[in-house]
Amino acid sequence: MEKQTVFTREDYNKLSARLNMLKTEGRDDIAEKIKEARSHGDLSENAEYDEAMNEQAKMEAEIAKLEADLRYAKILDEEELTTEAIHIGSKVTLYDMDFEEEVEYKILGKSDIENGIISDLSPVGSAIMGKKVGDIAEVHTPGGKTIKMKVLAISK
């Protein structure tokens, strides 16, 4: 069985909308590109056709991944979240003692670093789970280095 992935209602809705768009508009767009490329003749030397087929494969892989994520999704009840200690659903402000900078993350089941979301199973996520404001966590990186992060704030 797959591991449950934890999402906020907002994040779940975004993924659902993305999946719906890919299954409708995305597939229609790719089908049109493939049809257009086929009309150009010999498929064995048709770069446009090859590109459309590659694009279709990537899109189908993304659809399969989104379907799996949503199938095993658990939606957080954000009303039940507390700010006493870090847990899944927490928004945290940390001070990276090695780089001497503040960083902010939201802890969920899947990482999305570009949007400030880290997994509870990531090195940082697992190191800070259960910590309180003022605590220092030692994060063991995949490269073997240990960095220290101080918890500055916890919010919902």
Domain boundaries, the chain: 5-75, 80-155
Supply the pLDDT for residue 2.
Answer: 58
If you average pLDDT over residues 31-57, what whole number do you get?
A: 86
45, with CB counted inside 10 A (0-12, 13-18, 19+), is: exposed
Query: Comparing 5-75 with 80-155, is the CATH topology the same?
Result: no
Q: Which of the four pLDDT bands, split at 50, 70 and 90, describes residue 9?
A: confident
- The CATH number of domain 80-155 is 3.10.50.30: yes
Which option is the CATH number for 5-75: 3.40.50.150, 3.40.50.2000, 1.10.287.180, 1.10.530.10? 1.10.287.180
Give 2's DSSP letter: P
Supply the pLDDT for residue 153.
Answer: 96
Per-residue pLDDT tens digits for 64-113? 999 998 998 888 777 777 889 998 889 999 999 999 999 999 998 777 77
**30 or 8: which leads in pLDDT:** 30
Find out whether 113 and 127 touch, Cβ atoms under 8 Å.
no
Q: What is the b/e burial string over 70-82, where b = at least 16 CB atoms within 10 angstroms of the residue's CB? A: eeebeebeeeebe
Mean confidence (pLDDT) of the chain: 89
Supply the pLDDT for residue 69.
Answer: 86
Q: Which of the four pLDDT bands, split at 50, 70 and 90, describes residue 146?
A: very high
Supply the pLDDT for residue 120.
Answer: 87
